């Protein structure tokens, strides 16, 4: 179709086609950007917007005929089969005819269905414009989900260089950094930064309990004094609740009970070792100050020295005495830490 030379404006079909051509790439970009197949309900917004725009524009188009402001150059088939062609000079005549009757007679301005097709095309383009110009909430949600989240936990228990090694063993579970330092009151501590989506606070508690002597309130092994006392530093109520629960579970397990009674090895059932009270503090976190770089990563920087000190300070023997299986007479084996006494449950972080 070609507009008449005397026309000063575009026809509705041409306007709708141009708008659709402009908005189609925007729609494709929007759908790709928001990954519509992964969003929740945003596809419905696009469909609803198009339908509403279609109904509105279609109603306007059938209620009001074309005016002199538009060149209604249409092409189609009349219901009797004759082609319909209209020049701009005929618009005013057609308007007069259409306004005089609610039903357009043969030979009127537009062929049946043309206004509806025009309205649909215009509505679709308008709907695409609205949807493509909107910000993509789904994309923001996806970015928020994909954004790296971090949480921090602080623990104390003797020489922090040895406590660091306990968390290095589970670094693969989602721990990003482990820093050795001091709290504002002088207590030696380790600050663990981790991804809560991969590593839970319960897992950190499990690694902590296995690396300390929770029954010693005056320090840890050969490190004596208040600055070496065992403390779980908590920042929120959830951490406090989990720390208290894990403490009770480990305390009742009997794992830290005496391995010898009257010079004889305590053997038999898992509950044979009598539970002993814990003296580990659960306190609100204070300010943490990391040590200089040369004081970090001792367990990795000098593995030989670390292993030697672990033996001489009694840490290796303490761990072996309380956690290693014990061979009994008759071929029986006593496992101090099991799922039955909730020791393994605590170590694995399988509690809530």
Segments of the chain with pLDDT less than 70:
1-148, 260-272, 329-330
CA distance 278 to 78: 95
pLDDT at 126: 60
Task: Kindly give, in sequence order, each residue whose CB lies less than 8 Å from that of residue 275, ignoring residues fewer than 6 positions away.
Answer: 251, 252, 253, 254, 256, 257
CA distances from 65 to 78, 99, 103, 111 (A): 17, 7, 11, 12
HEC profile for the chain? Answer: CCCCCCCCCCCHHHHHHHHHHHHHHHHHHHHHHHCHHHCCCHHHHHHHHHHHHHHHHHHHHHHCCCCCCCCCCCCCECCCCCECCCCHHHHHHHHHHHHCCCCCCCCCCCCCCHHHHHHHHHHHHHHHHHHHHCCCHHHHHHHHHHCCCCEEEEEECCCHHHHHHHHHCCHHHCEEEEEEEEECCCCEEEEEEECCCCCCHHHHHHHHHHHCCCCCCCEECCEECHHHCCEEEECCHHHHHHHHHHHHHHHHHCCCCCCEECCEECCCCHHHCCCCCCCCEEEECCCEEECCHHHCCHHHHCHHHHHHHHHHCCHHHHHHHHHCCEECHHHCEECCCCCCCCHHHHHCCCCC
CA distance 180 to 199: 20
Task: Identify the CA nearest to 296 among candidates 148, 167, 200, 202.
Answer: 167
Number of C-beta neighbours around residue 149 at 10 A: 12
pLDDT at 213: 95
Phi, psi (degrees; rounded to nearest 5) at 216 = -105, 110
pLDDT at 325: 85
pLDDT at 183: 97
pLDDT at 122: 60
pLDDT at 37: 45
Per-residue pLDDT tens digits for 198-253:
999 999 999 999 999 999 999 999 999 999 999 999 999 999 999 999 999 999 98
CA atoms within 13 A on the CB side of 107: 4
CA distance 229 to 159: 10
pLDDT at 259: 74
């Amino acid at each position: 179709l070609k507009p008449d030379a005397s026309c000063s404006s575009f026809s509705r079909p041409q306007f709708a086609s141009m708008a659709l051509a402009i908005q189609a790439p925007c729609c494709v970009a929007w759908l790709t950007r928001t990954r519509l197949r992964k969003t929740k309900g945003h596809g419905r917004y696009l469909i609803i917007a198009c339908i509403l725009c279609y109904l509105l524009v279609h109603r306007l188009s059938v209620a009001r005929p074309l005016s002199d402001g538009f060149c209604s150059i249409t092409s189609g088939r009349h219901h009797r089969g004759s082609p319909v062609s209209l020049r701009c000079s005929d618009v005013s005549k057609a308007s007069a005819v259409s306004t005089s009757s609610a039903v357009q007679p043969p030979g009127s301005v537009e062929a049946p269905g043309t206004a509806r097709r025009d309205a649909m095309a215009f509505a679709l383009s308008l709907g695409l414009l609205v949807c493509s110009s909107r910000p993509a909430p789904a994309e923001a949600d996806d970015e928020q989900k994909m954004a790296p989240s971090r949480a921090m936990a602080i623990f104390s228990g003797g020489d922090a260089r040895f406590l660091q090694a306990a968390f290095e063993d589970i670094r693969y579970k989602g721990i990003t950094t482990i820093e050795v330092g001091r709290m504002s009151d002088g207590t030696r501590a380790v600050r663990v930064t981790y991804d809560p989506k991969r590593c839970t606070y319960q897992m950190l508690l499990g690694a902590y309990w296995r690396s300390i002597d929770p029954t010693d309130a005056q320090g840890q092994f050969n490190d004596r004094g208040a600055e070496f006392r065992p403390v779980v530093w908590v920042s929120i109520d959830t951490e406090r609740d989990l720390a208290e629960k894990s403490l009770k579970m480990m305390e009742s397990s009997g794992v830290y009970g005496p391995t010898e009674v009257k010079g004889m090895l305590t053997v038999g059932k898992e509950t044979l070792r009598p539970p002993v009270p814990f003296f580990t503090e659960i306190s609100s976190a204070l300010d943490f100050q990391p040590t200089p770089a040369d004081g970090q990563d001792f367990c990795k920087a000098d593995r030989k020295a670390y292993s030697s000190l672990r033996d001489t300070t009694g840490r290796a023997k303490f761990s072996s005495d309380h956690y290693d299986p014990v061979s009994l007479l008759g071929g029986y084996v006593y496992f101090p830490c099991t799922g039955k006494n909730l020791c393994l449950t605590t170590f694995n972080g399988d509690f809530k």
